[in-house]
Amino acid sequence: MKRIGLIALAAFIGGAAALGGYKWMEHKNDNLLSFADEQKVLFASNAKISSAGAVDFVEAAAAVSPAVVHIKTSYSGSTGRSSSPMDMFDFFGGGGRNIQRAPRAASGSGVILTPDGYIVTNNHVVDNADKIEVILSDRRKVSATVVGKDPNTDLALIKVDATNLPVVKMGNSDNVQIGEWVLAVGFPLDLQTTVTAGIVSAKSRSIGILARDQQQPSEEDFEEYQRTGKMPARAANTSIESYIQTDAAINPGNSGGALVNANGELVGINAAIASQTGTNVGYGFAIPVNLAKKILDDFRKYGAVKRGYIGVTFSTLDADLAERLNVKDNSGLYVNEVLPGSGAAAAGLLKGDIIKKIDGNIIYDSPDLQEKIGRLSPGDKVELTYSRNGQLKDTRVTLKGEGAATNPNVIAKTGASASIEKLGASFAPASTQLKSKYGAKSGVVVTGVEQGKIFDSLDISKGLLVTAVNGRPVNSAKDIEAALPQSRNGMTTITGVTAEGRFTYSF
């Protein structure tokens, strides 16, 4: 009895220390802990068992369900989200392309990550919403604000003003195995909390849904087509798709909900279905939590994603493509282009090289590379193994920021004056709709920011509307180039507008 009493006392002290440590760190180092580190403190006393778990899902469902929330959004403007499927693959829970429609509402799901109200969901659940409400497990309804969102991964982080909320424990999606049991938890078809079970039927699955959404022609594209008869070249695809595929039943409303293993550990964020009817036919897709961790940490720290890029465009090799390209390899990623100023260019990669491994891991398809790079930041280094003329070579690539590595037309690389180069940003003409929204007569949108340059140091982020430079209206990158030399007293002034109001930067 004495021995049992000592063990119980030790367990109590350990649990109290863990809880006390969390409460102290919550206030002391709130901005220093990643979501993963914060959860290590929350679940410090949990015993670790096999991720395969037991076939009985009662405990897992009971642990997860209170921390999966119902998200309801409303749209007072003219732009909503289509809830009907566009083709075989579709987002569920408000997904689809932007369409003109009357004011409406939509719903989805979310997963609570911290007791103070950080919730992960899908970008397409909250994108363009004028109002976001979260219904908690105790039926409370609270308003939420968007901390950050990223169409390239379809992830978003929202925040509610609440405390002592239940939390889902983050797992390790790298350890998920094909054939493993998983549970999907969410609010399908506007039902209350629903749990379904299935297995992981595939990993690293790319279905092209994010790229399709990115590649839809804009209003400016159609205007140029009407003027010239030619559709402008589309921007480079920067989406990252490496989905966990499951046959657990998921339906409209499950977007942003939890995919958990049999231990109740979060391994994915449900995002899309394969369906010709808009409802479940046996194939659902979830964003791996290991990719989400980095994106969500960036949202909390910066409000946007600080993503690193290799700086190549590529095609996935198979027997047919290898035959057309007249190459002997039929696996790996064939480099179509190396972007100027990118990490790949600095590392010596050339068009025609075939990427075979990243950090020693074999590359079979594009998601094998994209997900691993998607977890990294500008300045991080990766080891690449590639084939050139049948010979394997190794190189180390330092990832560059989005501007330099994804768009060869970045202002900083155009050879213009030194002042332009120091901005470290790329721009695109603002749409008529965006200018009208903010009451602006001119404007360009910041489409990329290079780490270490002026815009980065001023925290001018991607998506910002710049209306004037040195007092001169700007509608293109050329207008900015012309306006920069017009500074007074050696000071450059950037003027623009955000949802919070107008801003001016001088440097």
Closest alpha carbon to 393 in 355, 437, 340: 355
For the chain, helix, strand, coil in percent to 5 are 30, 30, 40
Does residue 27 carry a catalytic annotation?
Answer: no
Please measure the distance between the N-terminal and C-terminal CA atoms of the chain and give it in whole angstroms.
72
Q: How far apart are CA 226 and CA 228, in angstroms?
A: 6
Task: Spot the catalytic one: 107, 239, 242, 255.
Answer: 255
Q: How far from the centroid of its chain's Cα atoms is residue 331's Cα?
A: 27
Q: DSSP secondary-structure letter at 67?
A: G
Question: Phi first, then psi: what are they for 172, rounded to 5°?
Answer: -125, 105
Say whether 154 is catalytic. Answer: yes
DSSP 491: B
Strand partners, 393: 386
**Annotated active-site residue in 90, 154, 353, 368:** 154
- The answer to whether 70 is a known catalytic residue is no
Which residues, at least 6 apart from 447, have a Cβ–Cβ distance to it below 8 Å?
Answer: 403, 407, 426, 427, 428, 462
What b/e readout covers 92-101, taking b as 16+ CB neighbours within 10 angstroms? bbbbbeeeee
Q: Which of 83, 124, 206, 239 is catalytic?
A: 124
Secondary structure of 307-366 as H, E, C letters: CCECCEEEEECCHHHHHHHCCCCCCCEEEEEECCCCHHHHHCCCCCCEEEEECCEECCCH
N residues, the chain: 507
Number of separate helices (H) and strands (E) present in the chain? 15, 27
- Taking the CA of residue 480 as centre, how many other CA atoms within 13 Å lie in the half-sphere pointing to its CB? 31
Residues 121, 269: Cα–Cα separation, whole Å: 7
Give the contacts of 137 (CB within 8 A, at least 6 positions apart). Answer: 65, 66, 67, 68, 69, 166, 193
Catalytic positions: 124, 154, 255
